[in-house]
Structure 1
Amino acid sequence: MSLDRIAELLELAEAEALWGYESVAPPEIVETLGMASTRIGGGVVLAVRNDVTDYWSKALGFGFSEPVTADLVGEITAFYREQGVRLATLQFAPAALPADWDAIREKEGITEGSRWLKLARLAGLVESAETDLRIDVVGPEDAAQWASVLTRGFGMPEEHFAPMVQGVVERPDWSAYAAWDGDQMIAAASVVIKGEVAEFAGASTLPSHRGRGAQSALLAARARHAAAAGVKWLSGETGKPAEGEQNRSLNNMLRTGFEIRYERENWIWRP
């Protein structure tokens, strides 16, 4: 399988995972956050006008069903202008960027942001990581708590963002996992099955319980779930650490057998 084909599988799985998170928000949260979404050129464009974190307005999954062109990028930025978004992140696999990308982004006012690493591995059984925490699947009765832990672990205000993501727990293609210290849920994670790919769609631990193996154990649990589902690839992404710094999420994924497939720029658009 070619690198471009693998990139396509990974990018589209990530795009559908983000679409899933933002498509389950209750109507009152949609209104409060100013949420809107559309599909353009094979990718997804997600707008959250009142996002204090500047994380959720993203466009990704492009360059596979049709090429990335000036017209396509213009459609994306026009949507964000219409929605009144103050900042959006455009994510393209490096292989999807056209030769005239610099000219396109200069015209649209798109600048370089941080870099992410796209990681993947072939599916297979992963041994349980050693931890004294209890790792288990999350059911509907714990969905609200799971969403609270997930958002707080990322440092996001839970008032609006926890209700936004809570609904994925009950979606048929999603599975939510958590780690408990006694009766207290202290880490949350999710995995979504999209065709041949299991997308590891986010995981976080509360600051009070970091360093106790929760993330490694949650990676292993989700990997076993994906193997049982019969997928071919496990996929995930995390930030590229600055020189001389460490990214614990990256280290945990590498220990679980993930490999870095490519670096991806976060391209920043502002009106």
Structure 2
Amino acid sequence: MTAPADLTPLAEAVECEFMHSYESQAPAPTYTDLGIATTRIGGGVALGMRNDPSGGYWSKALGFGTTEPFTVQVLDDVLDFYREHGIGQAVIQLIPSVVPAGFEEVAAARGLTPGSTWIKLAARPEDVTAGRTRLRVGPVPTTEARRWADVLLTGFGMPTGGLTDMVAATVGRPAWRPCAAWDGGELVAGANLFLHGEAAALNAAATASGHRGLGAQSALITARARAAVEAGCRWLFAETGKPAPGQQNPSLNNLRRAGLVPLYERRNWVWRAAS
């Protein structure tokens, strides 16, 4: 893969926008019931879900330091946003290049602790290696939006219900290209793609138990890469968890096998409000 000097700003921007879209564009009743709040701070986004049934995944802040400097004041503004909206826990996702010297002490003083690490990957969408499956793969029709959303959420260990409404609402929106795999007439796997200018982002990929190992996710990577090409995108991005030493992450394996190349690792800093 021949890449520009630094794809980081583009990679962070597209993730900011798809996370912001998921939450900020949730249907009005769901937005209220889940206690969603979003804002843009310091070139990044801060997203909050006060009544998050997943246990905290949807309250996160990211995208800092690529268009504006990431400073202690930016961090404090983000934490003030969470306090203002009654959110007691959130994750601040920071790329290594923007973390200022002495940040560990600054973080500890504000209730932040280092958490998991994610790997950001990229490829030109036309270079993605085709994945094969016996399952039928295609776009998600609106009639199956909720089933598709439930498969995704269940695959990530998240409860259905309000989150179903939020995720399903991406089906049919111009910037989104949701895909699914069917075994006969049953929708058994799903994934999403977000388009943002010359960038596209793979996200939200899961397969129902009992249908894993059939190549659904590799085929869904291929289908979404083709959709990115059709949309005129020059770069395809994804992120997934870094496995612990001696362990494997199947999502990372699928992405690398498809031709996506690691760009950088990003630490998740977990913030908890003082009790």
What band does the TM-score fall into relative to the shorter chain?
over 0.9
**Separation of aligned partners in 1, 2:176 and 2:93:** 23
The alignment of Structure 1 onto Structure 2 pairs a total of residues equal to 269
1:90-130 Cα deviation digits (max 9, x unpaired): 11121121223223212322110011111111221545322
**Separation of aligned partners in 2, 1:188 and 1:55:** 19
Q: Does 1:162 align with 2:164?
A: yes
**Separation of aligned partners in 2, 1:147 and 1:200:** 15
What is residue 5 of structure 2 aligned with on the other side? 2
Contact 2:13 2:63 in 1 (8 A): yes
Q: 1:227 aligns with which of 226, 229, 235?
A: 229
1:224-248 Cα deviation digits (max 9, x unpaired): 1112222111100001111111111
Q: Does 1:141 align with 2:143?
A: yes
**Separation of aligned partners in 2, 1:127 and 1:7:** 23
What is residue 75 of structure 2 aligned with on the other side? 73
Q: Which 10-residue stretch deviates more, 254-263 or 225-234?
A: 225-234
Contact 1:24 1:165 in 2 (8 A): no
Structure 2, unmatched stretches of 5+, are none
Contact 1:125 1:224 in 2 (8 A): no
1:160-219 Cα deviation digits (max 9, x unpaired): 111111111121011000000011101111111111211112211112211110000000
What is residue 209 of structure 1 aligned with on the other side? 211
**Separation of aligned partners in 2, 1:150 and 1:109:** 32
What is residue 35 of structure 1 aligned with on the other side? 36
What is residue 151 of structure 1 aligned with on the other side? 153
**SS at 1:231's partner residue?**
coil
**Separation of aligned partners in 2, 1:87 and 1:18:** 17
What is residue 94 of structure 1 aligned with on the other side? 96
Displaced runs of 4 or more, over 3 A: 125-128
What is residue 61 of structure 2 aligned with on the other side? 59
RMSD: 1.2
**Separation of aligned partners in 2, 1:192 and 1:156:** 21
Q: State, as a whole percentage, how many aligned pairs show the same letter.
A: 47
**Separation of aligned partners in 1, 2:143 and 2:129:** 28
What is residue 266 of structure 2 aligned with on the other side? 264
**Separation of aligned partners in 1, 2:25 and 2:173:** 9
**SS at 1:158's partner residue?**
coil
Residues 186-205 of structure 1 mapped to structure 2, 5 A cutoff: 186-205=188-207
Alpha-carbon distance, 1:47 to partner: 0.4
Contact 2:119 2:264 in 1 (8 A): yes
Alpha-carbon distance, 1:49 to partner: 0.9
**SS at 2:53's partner residue?**
coil
